[in-house]
Amino acid sequence: MIDHAGGTGRYDEAALAGFSLGGNLTLLHLGREGRGIDPLVRRAVVFSVPCDLAASAGEIARRRNRIYLNRFLVDLRVKIRWKMAQFPGRIDDDGYERIRDFRDFDDRYTAPVHGFRDAEDYWTQCSSKPHLPGIAVPTLIVNALNDPFLPPACLPMAEADANPMITLLTPASGGHVGFISFNGDGRYWSEEAAAAFLDGGCFN
């Protein structure tokens, strides 16, 4: 997408925004590219990021989160069935009911489809947390302390302290991609925070 936007010649700069797993991918790209990031990319903002995928998967598998996990697995089965129609014979949902958590799902689908050995290999290679030191553009990370899917390992305080390009906000509330604010125009706090940061605002 960055290459496409730059290739049109219509943009002088771009900002990246990501939520949840999309936020992890955003940070992973920024960290891996480091100072070699496309110069079009000037800033980034992410919310509710499971930057340690193994830790987040373990948290979601906890008993208190079972209602959320069951909902995720139901939605993912729908997506698997879409893929079955797109790629007949290459993917199926036989025995899907035996999948109990994200480890099972990632072992069966995510890892092999994308060339990883298993769930652990996928989580290790695709967690953004180890790559945060490489981020070289101003980046805002917002992870709520009451996010039911993010354990302490997903609050990268040491990494943010060590990298002046990273601003980490850990509000007491917000849940997972919630960040609602009650105002007359219906804007979310996350939208206002993102706009302010991408416009050059300071959150220190």
pLDDT band at 165 (very low <50, low <70, confident <90, very high): very high
Count, residues in the chain: 204
Residue 204 located in a structural domain: no
Give the whole-angstrom CA distance, residue 126 versus residue 29.
10
Residue 203 located in a structural domain: no
- The answer to whether residues 146 and 175 belong to one domain is yes
Tell me whether residue 147 is one of the annotated catalytic residues: yes
> Exactly one of 3, 20, 48, 190 is catalytic; which is it?
20
19, 43, 61, 68, 84 from 14: Cα distances, Å: 17, 7, 36, 34, 35
Q: Which of 107, 137, 121 is nearest to 39 (CA)?
A: 137
- The answer to whether residues 84 and 135 belong to one domain is no
- The answer to whether residues 61 and 103 belong to one domain is yes
- The answer to whether residues 41 and 142 belong to one domain is yes
What backbone phi and psi angles, to 5 degrees, belong to 154?
A: -95, 15
Query: What separation, in Å, do the N-terminal and C-terminal C-alpha atoms of the chain show?
Result: 31
> Exactly one of 48, 127, 176, 190 is catalytic; which is it?
176
Q: Where are the alpha helices (DSSP H) in 34-90?
A: 53-60, 66-86
- The answer to whether residues 141 and 46 belong to one domain is yes
- The answer to whether residues 63 and 85 belong to one domain is yes
Q: What is the pLDDT of residue 176?
A: 94
- The answer to whether residues 113 and 135 belong to one domain is no
Task: Say what the pTM is.
Answer: 0.92
Which structural domain, as residue segments, surrounds residue 147? 2-52+127-198
Q: How many domains does the chain have?
A: 2
- The answer to whether residues 73 and 163 belong to one domain is no
pLDDT tens, position by position, 101-156 = 999 999 999 999 999 999 999 999 999 999 999 999 999 999 999 999 999 999 99
pLDDT tens, position by position, 58-112 = 999 999 999 999 999 999 999 999 999 999 999 999 999 999 999 999 999 999 9
> Exactly one of 12, 147, 181, 190 is catalytic; which is it?
147
- The answer to whether residues 131 and 185 belong to one domain is yes
Tell me whether residue 131 is one of the annotated catalytic residues: no
